[in-house]
Each structure stands twice: as C-alpha cells, then as structure tokens.
Structure 1
Amino acid sequence: MNLAKRVKTLSPSSTLAITAKAKELKQQGHDVIGLGAGEPDFNTPQYILDGAIKAMKDGRTKYTPSGGVPELKEAIVNKFQADNQLGYSSDQIIVTTGAKHALYTLFQVLLDEDDEVIVPAPYWVSYPEQVKLAGGNPVIVTAREDNHFKMTPQELEAAITDKTKAVIINSPSNPTGMMYSQEELQALGDICLKHDVLIVSDEIYEKLIYTSDKHVSVAQLSKRLFENTIVINGVSKSHSMTGWRIGYAAGPLEIIKAMTNLASHSTSNPTSVAQYAALAAYEQSEDTLDEMKRVFAERLDMLHGLLIEIPGITCIKPKGAFYLFPNVKEAASNCGYANVDDWVAALLEEEKVAVVPGSGFGSEDNIRLSYATSTEALEEAAERIKQFVLKHQS
C-alpha cells in the first residue's frame, strides 16, 4: 500500500527514538537514567484530581462543545486578563486536545500548499513537521548560540518572502529554556506587522521561569500585535497535567472559528472530564506550582554547575522551562566521535544515560537534558557523563 505523500515527508522524533532505546535497556535490567522527559515529575495536584472526580460524579462525561465547555473558556479568558493583561472574549478561545493539537489545527486552517512558516532553530521537534503536514514549508532560521539562541529582527526579516504566512515564537523555549525580552519581542513584532506575517506565540512554559524576569506575551505589546497574534498555551507544564491533554489557542475570531470547525470533524471535543480538571486548575490556588518551581530552580542550579565542569562542555544557563541545552561538540570530538549523535548513542550504550541529540531540534552541536527528575538521578547522570568524557577523551 502506498502511503500519502504528506506522511512520507515527516522526520522521526529523536526524542521518541532515545526514549524507546532507554526503555529497551531498562527492560534488559540496566540502570538507565533518562533525561529526555518533556514533562514535570510531579503528580497532578490533589485539588485538580478532586475537580475531575467531582465532574465524573456529576455526570460530566458526555460530549461537549467542540471548542470547549463555556466555564473553562471563561476561566481561560480570566487567566489571560489576570496574567497577561489580554482582553479576549470566550469566542476567541478554543480548547484543544493538548497545546500540540492547537498548533496542528492552527496550521491546518492557516496554510495552503507551499505557504511558508518561519521556524527559529533550535525548535521544538513538532513545529516543522506540523507545518509540512499542512502542506506548508518550514523555513528554518538558525539562531546563534552567542545570542542565547534567539532570532534577531534582521534574521527574521531576511527570511520573509511573499509566501511567508507566519512565524513561531516560543518563549520560554523548548529546548533551550531561553526567553525573549519585551524589547526583543517588540522588535520582532514590528517586523511581522510591517510584512503582514501572523505571529504564533507558544507560551506553554510561561509559568516556569526561575529568574526575576517576567513573562511577556507579544500579544500584549500593542493593539495591532494583539490582533496579529495567536497565543498557544495549556495546563500540561504549568499544572503537571501532561496526560490530561488540555491546551488552548486564543486569537482573531475568524481563525478560532475555523479551528473550531475543523476540531468538530477531528476530535469532536477535548475529553470532558479533563476539561473540568483544567477548570479546577484555573479556579483554585497555585501554591503547588510555587513548590514545583522552587524544586526545578534548585535542580537547574545544581545540574548546570556540574555540567560546565566537564571538559569540552559549555552551557548557557536558561531562564525557564526545565531543560538544559549544552554544547558538547568539543567533548564529542575529543572523545573521538564524528558527531554529537554518535556521542549520545555511545553515552547511552556505555553509561546508560539517555539524553536527546540536538540534531532533532535543528542544532547539531548540542544535546537536550531535562531536569524534570530527581536530584539524585541528576547528580548520578552528571557523574556518568563526566566519567564517559574523561575515559574517552584523547
């Protein structure tokens, strides 16, 4: 059977490949430390679990409107107003089956054949693939490490053509953890307005910031930018609800209506009980989030300090998310490996430490490590990486 051309263009997920290999080694009895996780290692807070249980007991187990239950959409409206000073109406909101599905649906309704979307690298692995699935062409703009992996206005403008439909901005970033400042966002936004390019602002990590820097949404910088931006967010990272699969998009009414129509023919609606769990997440206390942030901040400081002591490894300290994105090109070369991918494979095989090669994120010199695991595991992983490098370096 011949598969559709659109799926033949997809690149396999390097994250899933490493995870599968790590699981295989674990099943063989090896002591594998996995640093590939893209989710908090905390359980969903109890008050959210209670909200879900109450919803089930109250019979909230049926189909819902395709764009989400009204109560949750209203809670999201309130969240945007309180956190971001953004004045959306509920009909400018669509609740989706995770933030990933919000992005997928957006590109399906936005792109025609050969439309271009600018994707700064390093990027989250699904951005280019979702653009390709919608018939579009991802245009990769490599952001320099010496600029903290952030795209400049000049780099953005140089990539724009008459086919450019949108640009993706992810702040804080997966995989780098870096953040754009208000001034940087304003400069990028001005370029987008100048060329009539829609901004897709992925803000899924907005609550996970470990410095005094404040999260800024490009949509809040001006009325014109508000009208020219689709904001993507969700409860997966902020409330440790990855498995519940609740995300959302907010933006111009015409786009949100089209996304809702498409969703009605794909998922019908996000899971009903999960929507009420998300409602509980937004209606009650965020004290548990403060504790999660405190733990993540401690792990970040510790792991970053250990990594930069390893010969051949450099690492810009990120401000948010829960990833480190060190440059290991020199370490890989000194260890006799032709590239970082081979170095990563050998590290897993010999020392049983699973990290994700940066090639999957558009950055071949780096690796992504998640510190969403125990302090003890992180300390042991850093020690194994150090011993691996010392053993192999020439």
Structure 2
Amino acid sequence: MIDPKRLNHAEDLLDELNRRGDCTAVVEKAHAAYHNWKSALQAFETLKADQNAATPKRKPTDVEKNRLAELSDAVKTAKRFVDDAEQAYRTALLYVPNIPDPKIPTGADASGNTVFRTPSRPVPEFAFEPQTHDSILERLNWIDTTRTARINGSRFVTYCGLGARLKRALIQFMLDHNTHAGYHELSPPVLVNRTSLTGTGQLPKFDADLFHCTDTDYWLSPTAEVQLTNYYQGELIAEASLPIKLTGYTPCFRKEAGSYGRDTKGLIRLHQFDKVELVQLVKPETSDAALLELLNTACGILDALELPYQVVTLCSGDLGFSASKTYDIEVWLPAQNTYRELSSCSLFTDFQARRANIRYRGDSNTFVHTINGSGLAIDRTIAAIIENYQLADGSVSIPKCLDRYMSV
C-alpha cells in the first residue's frame, strides 16, 4: 500500500495516480476513511486525557467514582470507534494502486508503451508459411488438448512424450541459470492464504481472477511472486542480508476472467501454467539498479535460447496495480507475426513491503523495496521455441543450450 501520510495531501496524490486513469473514487474513499480515523483517534486521546486528569491520587469520592465510571465507558466506546475506523481506512487503502514512477511514459493503454531495448536478434525468415505452435505440438503428439478437455475443459493442456521432456528441461535450465546468477532457490507450496495474497496485492481487488478453495483460507497461487515475497512476511531483516535474491518454480493458476475470446487455443493463456519466478528484496536506494539486474537475468535466458525478443517500458495506463515501473520482455511469435509478452519485470517500491510488513534493520527500520519478474513463463517459452525453431519438413529443432537437459 502507499504511505498513509500521502492522504494528508490528497490533491497531490491524485495528480500522480491519475496518470494511471481516473483514481478519484478510491483516493477520496481512502482519504475520507483516513480522516475519520484521525478524528476518532483524537476524540479517544482527549477522553483518555480527561480520564487521567479526573483520577485522584487519593481515594476517590463517590461522585468521583461515578465520573470515572462514565469516563471509562466513554473511553472503551471511543476505542471501539478508533479500531473500526482504522480497519475501514486500512481496507480502503488496499484498493489504492501504487504511484507510477515519474520517469515512465504517460499513456492511457498499451499503445503508450515505449521500446526500451530493440530486438535482440533478427526474426527468423521462413521459406514456408510458419505454423502455429499449438498445431505443431498437436501434430507431433507433444501436447494433447482433446483428452485434457474431458478432464478439465478449455484452457488446460497435457504435455506428452518429448513435449513433457521439453517442459521439464526448460524448468531445470531456467532454475540453473537463475541460481548461477546468484538467486537462492525455493520450492514453495502452491496453496497460499489471504494474508499473503493481500501482501503482494492480488487481494482484495483481483479476487475474481483467483481460484479459492471453498470453506478454507487457501487459494491456488497465481504466481510464485506471492510465495517468494511473503517468505519474509512480517520480518525485520538484518541490513547485511540485503539484497535477498530468490527464484522458484511453481504451477500457477488464474481464471483469466477478463480474457473471454482471446487466445482460446495454444499455450498463451491457460488456467494452469508453469513459471519460474525471480524476486528481490533490496534497500530503496538500490532498487532501480536491482530492477535492471533482474531484467538482465531474465533476458539472459532468451539469449541462451537464441530467441528474438524486445523489451518495452509500460506506460502509466498499462501499469499493473502494485507496480511503480515495469519492463515487459516480449518474444517473437512468427505465426502471429508479432511480439508477445513473456515476462513482466517490475519494481514495487515499498508498496508490497508495507502490505506484507517487511522491513530491514536500518536507522529507522525502513520498508524494503520489492522487485519481481518471470524468469521465465514455461508454456509461453515453449510456444516461442516451437514457432521459431520449426522446420520445413514439419519437425522442430531444439535450442542447443537444452541438449544436455533433453538427453535421457
């Protein structure tokens, strides 16, 4: 969440947040709730002062006892008002997005994004019409969506034979790449609780896109960002331990509630998908440089796979709810004749750390800055490999860096 003190200057806050679009309603609601809490707190403190002043140092008289009893009841009631008002303002604050970095471009949507790094290599040229990754994978029997649909319905896939081996090889290759870059590997559970999802910003705003286990406080994680960031939830970290760099592989689960009719075939948009995540917890003054380091780690995977990609800076209107700055890595898909997003590498400043209460032991026990990005999304990487490495005879070659992972 943003620093609540920013609500004392709501007009300035709105000027910054409205670069995302109209944030007036959520800011005004949080502003009103915040000042209701401050008024309730002031009334409570006044009553406490009256109670202290009315308490004699000697044995109280009957009149004084009655007055003290009245004040005690009033203080208890005022304390309840303070607690309720604080809960209301903190809940309202959870719906206020992060403040966009002043250096990112201002824009209303993806059309306002700008190229940060030009394509890494020329896109492949084919002497034939390139086929879609899903048609190639189905023909080679590397995936099966027909039988899978009997089990789950649409937007699920089963990897088969060499397809399953390719998926496993990519997971291992990416984890090795990330650990060699200095990231510590974790293998966390895929079930997470409400507190953790609130900490990284998925709840309460985006509950419609999450799978909830009914009658429990468990949710299927939409990204390992949740587990890796909240691994340090509520902790005061020694300054010498920073930066903390984590990587982990997990299955991820999303309803894709807002994507009806888009990418209904193939591996681009699935309800269950696989991803290797990169997370850093850093000191505020190093976070911009750390974001670029994380971006370079993710790009290094595509360099090793020899896949064409570009990096774009998201404009203010295309920015995710919790992010202050985001670089999207987009990989070339020949059958679509376009670049598609493969990884979002984002700086969250202290937005997530405030929600998850992650600080480091410095001069004032400051909140850390959090950074994360996919390193990488497995299914979309497979789609890119299949389309870019397809051959005229209908077969597919495999990037050389995966040879040792694909061998039996």
TM-score (norm 2): 0.24
Which structure has the larger Rg over C-alpha atoms?
Answer: 2
More strand by share: 2
Higher RCO (C-alpha under 8 Å, 6+ residues apart): 1
TM-score, structure 1 normalization:
0.25
